[in-house]
Every structure is written in structure tokens, then in C-alpha cells.
């Protein structure tokens, strides 16, 4: 009989009501407040210390995993060429969570793409190359893109 009484006490202490209707929510809040008041100061301090340690560990791990991450244009961001020149793209370097994901880069441009992979223009003007990457960090968490501007001028304006 004593065992049954002890079991009821333990089960009533361990009972948590997850029903979210209006009446039971108030009861749940009240019972949670009672249980917190019953908790010793040492238990609360332990919970707070573990919470702070978990947050600090998460920040450290996140910093450690992303310390070498970058999304940078190789070469110049802006350059000027003459109409008779072609541009050979140097690309971008992308590191995400310490992995090189440069092979996932997409290039959008309004330049003419030649068969040999070079770029050229038929008219004087400023053209663009927009680099985006299909990666969790740079397209999911942060939306990042890099832009290279290439200005084509007449041969006489080139100043060579």
C-alpha cells in the first residue's frame, strides 16, 4: 500500500499538462510556478550555468566552423577594356562552413559569351557579371551576390 501512495506522489509531481485550451493553460502555468518555487537554489543555478555554457559552446562552435568563410571576387571589381579586347573571367572564391563551394557559383551577365569561354561586347558601355552561389549560407541564411563591372570603350579612348 505504501508503494502505491509513493507512486501517486511521484506521478503527480511528474505530471505535465500539454493541453493548450484556455482552462488547462492557466492550470499548467500555475503548476509550473509552484514547481519552480519548490526547486532549490542550487538546482536553478545549475540550470542557468548549463544554459550559459550551452550558449557559449554554440557561439564558439559556430565561430570555429565559419572562421575561414569568404565570398570574394578574384581580380578587379571594376575594369575598363577596349571593344577589340576580350575578357577572361577569373571568377570568385567561395568558402562556406570551411568547404570550398566555388563550383556552385552561377554567373549572370549581359556580355556576349564566346565559344572559348571568354566575354566580349559589341558596343561601348558598362556591362556586369553577377555571381551568386547555390549554398545554404550564401543563398539561405544570407543572400549574397558579388558584382563585377566591365566598361568597354572605343579603342582611341582606351588610353594605351
| Mean predicted confidence (pLDDT) in 88-93 | 92
Q: Do 105 and 38 share a structural domain?
A: no
Q: Do 80 and 58 share a structural domain?
A: no
Tens of pLDDT, residues 2-30: 556 555 555 554 454 444 455 567 788 88
- The count of structural domains within the chain is 2
Q: Do 74 and 57 share a structural domain?
A: no
Q: Do 101 and 76 share a structural domain?
A: yes
pLDDT score recorded for residue 69? 86
Q: Do 61 and 10 share a structural domain?
A: yes
| Mean predicted confidence (pLDDT) in 115-143 | 87
Q: Do 118 and 58 share a structural domain?
A: no
Q: Which of 16, 39, 65 is the last residue of a domain?
A: 65
Q: What is the DSSP code string of 82-139?
A: ETT--B----EEEEETTEE-GGGEEEEESSEEPTTS-EE-SSSEEEEEEEEE-SIIII
Instruction: Give 53 or 99, the one with higher predicted confidence.
Output: 53
Residue 8 in grid coordinates: 501517486
For 146, the enclosing helix (H) or strand (E) is: strand 145-153
Q: Do 58 and 80 share a structural domain?
A: no
Q: Which of 20, 44, 65 is the last residue of a domain?
A: 65
pLDDT score recorded for residue 73? 92
How far is the first Cα of the chain from the last one, in angstroms, to the nearest whole number? 102
- Domain hosting residue 144, numbered range: 70-157
87 Cβ partners below 8 Å, 6+ apart? 79, 81, 111, 118, 119, 120, 150
Residue 77 banded pLDDT, cuts 50, 70, 90: very high
Question: How far is the C-alpha of 111 from the C-alpha of 154, rounded, in Å?
Answer: 16
Q: Do 134 and 75 share a structural domain?
A: yes
Q: What is the DSSP code string of 47-62?
A: HHHHHHHHHHHHHHHH
Q: Do 54 and 10 share a structural domain?
A: yes
| Mean predicted confidence (pLDDT) in 92-116 | 91
Tens of pLDDT, residues 27-60: 888 887 777 777 778 888 888 999 999 999 998 9
CATH code for the domain of 82: 2.60.40.10
Q: Do 79 and 59 share a structural domain?
A: no
| Mean predicted confidence (pLDDT) in 61-79 | 88
Q: What share of the chain has pLDDT > 90, as a percent?
A: 41
pLDDT score recorded for residue 108? 94
pLDDT score recorded for residue 158? 45
* Number of neighbours of residue 6 by Cβ within 10 angstroms: 10
Q: Which of 39, 65, 91 is the last residue of a domain?
A: 65
Residue 129 banded pLDDT, cuts 50, 70, 90: very high
Q: Do 59 and 83 share a structural domain?
A: no
pLDDT score recorded for residue 138? 77
Q: Do 104 and 28 share a structural domain?
A: no
Amino acid at each position: 500500500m505504501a508503494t502505491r501512495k509513493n507512486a501517486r506522489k511521484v506521478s503527480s509531481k511528474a505530471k505535465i499538462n500539454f493541453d493548450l485550451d484556455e482552462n488547462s493553460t492557466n492550470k499548467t502555468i500555475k503548476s509550473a510556478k509552484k514547481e519552480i518555487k519548490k526547486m532549490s537554489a542550487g538546482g536553478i543555478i545549475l540550470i542557468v550555468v548549463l544554459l550559459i555554457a550551452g550558449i557559449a559552446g554554440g557561439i564558439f562552435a559556430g565561430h570555429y566552423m565559419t572562421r575561414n568563410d569568404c565570398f570574394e571576387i578574384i581580380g578587379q571589381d571594376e575594369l575598363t577594356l577596349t571593344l577589340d579586347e576580350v575578357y577572361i573571367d577569373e571568377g570568385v572564391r567561395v568558402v562556406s562552413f570551411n568547404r570550398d563551394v566555388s563550383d556552385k557559383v552561377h554567373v549572370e551577365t549581359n556580355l556576349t559569351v564566346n565559344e572559348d569561354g571568354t566575354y566580349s561586347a559589341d558596343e561601348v558601355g558598362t556591362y556586369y557579371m553577377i555571381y551568386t552561389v547555390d549554398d545554404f549560407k550564401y543563398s539561405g541564411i544570407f543572400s549574397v551576390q558579388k558584382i563585377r563591372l566591365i566598361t568597354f570603350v572605343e579603342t582611341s579612348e582606351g588610353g594605351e
